[in-house]
Amino acid sequence: MPDEYFNSQILGIISLFGEEFGDTEWWPALPWEVMAGSVLTPQTKWRNVLKALDNLKSCGICTFEDISKAPDETIQECIRCTGFYRMKTERLKAFAEFYCEKSDISGYWEREDTATIRRDLLSIKGVGEETADSILCYALYRNSFVIDAYTERICSCAGIPLKKGKLKEAVEMVIPQDNSCYRKFHGWFVEYGKKYCNKEMCDICRIKNLKR
């Protein structure tokens, strides 16, 4: 299919979402919470991530320096609710070490280009593309669109069979180059997916009507 078709379908999805949800803000949180939450999110429900973050804060663990210094057992107990808590503790510690190391480099987070930070994030054990893009988009306010299962599924239902990097390129090609739009549009995908995709409501889903 030609790129023009994909462009039209993506814009159609976003227009539909705008009618459905309006101007909403998704995932408003402190940068360290977004980063830690992104590491904890895989294979668990979002409410468990929020609970884990609250547990960490209740223990006085409110920065990555705190995470790096805290005993593994303390971190494990705080994030047990997210599942795979030993593995996630290891990954959270690895991310904390990375964050503290890069923060010692003057201007790294502010002035380094997005592609370089993304590459560096992907070098951390346990950080995949979705996690890296979530951190870039929601914590660092960079234009890096997050492709998750909802995004792929919804786009597929609209006749866009692209996956991961190819889908990311296609979306970024047509949306406004403004971080607030990146955040809002991805949040719309998540909200629509939660509303329809998890409940097998395909018969009333408006996305299928975009296919032509």
Domains and CATH numbers, the chain: 3-26+145-210 (1.10.1670.10), 31-139 (1.10.340.30)
The pLDDT of residue 211 is 63
The pLDDT of residue 144 is 98
The pLDDT of residue 146 is 97
Of 101-105, 159-163, 198-202, which gets the smallest average pLDDT?
A: 198-202
- The whole-number average pLDDT for the span 101-130 is 95
- The whole-number average pLDDT for the span 111-135 is 96
Alpha carbon separation from 166 to 3, 9, 162, 171, 197 (Å, rounded): 11, 15, 6, 9, 22
Residue 2 has pLDDT above 90, yes or no: no
- The whole-number average pLDDT for the span 12-41 is 89
Taking the CA atoms of 81, 86, 88 and 93 in sequence, report the sign of the dihedral they define. positive
Structure tokens of 163?
């996956």
The pLDDT of residue 169 is 96
